[in-house]
Amino acid sequence: MSDPLLLGAIADDYTGASDLASMLTEQGVRTVQIVGLQPDSFIQGLRGRYQAAVVALKSREVPASLARELAVRAARQLKSLGARQIQFKYCSTFDSTREGNIGPVTEALMGYLGADFTVAVPSLPVNARTQYCGHLFVNGVLLSETHMRHHPATPMTDPNLVRHLQQQTAKKVGLIPFSVVTSGVSSIQAGWRS
């Protein structure tokens, strides 16, 4: 078995990492979940054995500087396995404060990977987390009207994901409406450039 690593994912919590790893496995993708950062020798021992690797960090509520450092270290290890794609797996309820950590970690990963553009789509329909016009819903209710508005560490009082993420990053945050997405690639490209 010497398949390339098609996907390397970095999750900001163990639960989300487990969700993603199990979904990939259910679809027949040989997947390994790595809990925390491991020695490089351990990581290299995984080479050629899996199609996807999910690194489970506990970085959602740590200082943003530490979250950035952990994510980049995980990305470096995943790239050393030849990962074709790197995904940052954050909570489908977009748990974070005004200061981060989703925006700062995304910026750090973009910098490390040399990306000037990325897509953020926090949703998980199987768990009733959906988006409409850039607003996040849980079981058909705006996120800000759910129990998440009272979360002690990451209260979600603004369901507008563009506004929420823009508070965390110096990068430009925008919205590509579904009508543009369904119009095709050229419409999407024109939409994100404007």
Give me the domain span that covers residue 72: 7-193
- pLDDT digits 0-9 by tens, 105-125: 999 999 999 999 899 988 889
Contacts of 146 (CB under 8 A, 6+ apart): 138, 139, 156
Predicted pLDDT at 2: 61
The secondary structure of 1-13 as a DSSP string is: ------EEEEESS
Is residue 147 in some structural domain?
A: yes
Number of domains in the chain: 1
Q: What is the domain-level CATH number for residue 132?
A: 3.40.50.10840
Is residue 165 in some structural domain?
A: yes
Predicted pLDDT at 9: 98
Beta strands in 31-165 (DSSP E): 31-35, 52-56, 85-89, 129-132, 135-138, 141-142
pLDDT along the chain (194 residues), means of 10: 83 95 97 97 95 96 95 97 95 81 96 94 89 92 90 84 92 90 90 70
DSSP reduced 3-state for 174: coil
The residue type found at 10 is I
Is residue 2 in some structural domain?
A: no
Q: How far is CA 8 from CA 4, 33, 78, 124, 138, in A?
A: 11, 10, 6, 19, 27
Is residue 1 in some structural domain?
A: no
Q: What is the pTM of this model?
A: 0.91
**Residue holding tokens 């989703």?**
102
